[in-house]
Structure 1
């Protein structure tokens, strides 16, 4: 079905029910399925990578044990990041609301901090080099990002800015055609990022220098997220900040710099060895 918007043809948002299915009183939402699929798919990918490229530090049992740590890290970090970076004033006045995770409100950059913290504790407990684990997890992360962005699309959230493009989509919140920015992010942060990291992982030179793959992940993600943010509507309660940049774009800058630092560090360390 099409709508005539500003004399252009725009696609209708499919209006998918956010509830995937119900089992008695238990309601399973697409967003929850996306998280579950992302985590399980990511762990299975790590186990596959370990089979393809064996590690002297990690086994498949480590990957299974890692799942719980990552789930906790993503949920706590993602929520904390949203509270701190995107809506601090509201939650400072309503602190109890910060614990109501089921009402929504997660931030990728916060989730990343949570994952890094969880991995730091995990590597300390199991005597695994921190950057070695980071590299393994980095290659699997785009799988979770892909499903997460698809869930954003199904929920009709994090919509794009108005557009005259023929693939512009009319979401349920108005009659203006917008960029399907969730799909852009699923393709860039999910498919393209995964392809880049899989290509890099093929080379023993890169795999043996712990931190290069993690650095490549940070730089590639930050670069693609920065560009796609120009098509994504800024958060209504924040708007655009200095230089016309969104909060997400500002957070991508230190992310890319840290990634560059990791690559420089990994190469310098290998040179000294």
Structure 2
């Protein structure tokens, strides 16, 4: 029997809308909301001359096309990252299961690398400075992270570690009878809302005049937020703790923490290189903004 102060999981149907055989889930709507929110915010940032100075920026039409590239990069990279980092033996035994995205299994770190690759290829195809795209993504991605983690909570997945003494712990339907940290909401608050505020302040302080600076701040900020949240999140069942245990002084080391270490180092290095001007394009091209 759960403790007196444990909160029951809210009865939220994961299906937002059903029309005959067609069902639309909250998780899909979260992806759409994140992409549309990022697209709208990116267009506003591109149109703001005060943030760019003489640096070249993508056009509004570029942003419209870029969102498709990034969406593909996130989905393909996220799935491939989950396969490689979290459950490779399963997919080696049944390769067709890789295509069964409906069964779940996406990795942020894989999606991040997929998005970076997509933006790099897009920048080359449009002859744009890649860091102009990376910096735009750095400011807008927290929108998608926020909605994505809220969707994780609605689905009752990726729940937190057992928290018998925490008044606001939640008993998840698939998490057993014991109350757990609602770690999805912690991630929505830190990786999403808090990081969005940090990046909004950064873009107003520095603009896009130091290419790579905003990218570095985002990568470092996400890595730190994710590491903190991993102390409250239940590790993937097939992996468990890579080092230590839940009762260990540091709470056990998980795959999510491990993957964030190189992210943090890359973030720090990118910030330093940006401050030294290493990431700036060699040639300054007059800024342009096409009509919507």
Q: How does the TM-score come out when normalised to structure 2? A: 0.88
Q: How large is the RMSD of aligned CA atoms in angstroms?
A: 1.6
| Structure 2 counterpart of 1:183 | 185
SS of structure 2 residue aligned to 1:81: helix
Say whether residues 1:255 and 2:263 are aligned partners. Answer: yes
State whether residues 82 and 107 of structure 2, in contact with CA within 8 Å, keep that contact through their aligned partners in structure 1.
Answer: yes
Deviation at 1:159, TM superposition (A): 0.3
| Structure 1 counterpart of 2:45 | 49
State whether residues 146 and 190 of structure 1, in contact with CA within 8 Å, keep that contact through their aligned partners in structure 2.
Answer: yes
User: Which structure has more helix as a fraction of its residues?
Assistant: 1
User: Can you list the C-alpha shifts for 1:65-99, whole angstroms capped at 9, x where unaligned?
Assistant: 11110110000000000000000011011111011
Hey, what's the Cα distance between the residues in 2 that align with 1:153 and 1:131? 33
Deviation at 1:56, TM superposition (A): 2.9
State whether residues 15 and 172 of structure 1, in contact with CA within 8 Å, keep that contact through their aligned partners in structure 2.
Answer: no
Contiguous gaps of at least 5 residues in structure 1: none
| Structure 2 counterpart of 1:142 | 142
SS of structure 2 residue aligned to 1:27: strand
| Structure 2 counterpart of 1:240 | 241
| Structure 2 counterpart of 1:61 | 61
| Structure 2 counterpart of 1:33 | 29
What does residue range 183-262 of structure 1 map to in structure 2 within 5 Å? Answer: 183-204=185-206, 207-243=208-244, 244-262=252-270
Deviation at 1:57, TM superposition (A): 2.5
| Structure 1 counterpart of 2:118 | 118
* Structure with greater contact order relative to length (CA < 8 Å, sep ≥ 6): 2
Hey, what's the Cα distance between the residues in 2 that align with 1:132 and 1:142? 17
Say whether residues 1:24 and 2:26 are aligned partners. Answer: no
Hey, what's the Cα distance between the residues in 1 that align with 2:140 and 2:279? 28
Hey, what's the Cα distance between the residues in 1 that align with 2:99 and 2:279? 47
Q: How does the TM-score come out when normalised to structure 1? A: 0.94
Contiguous gaps of at least 5 residues in structure 2: 245-251, 283-292
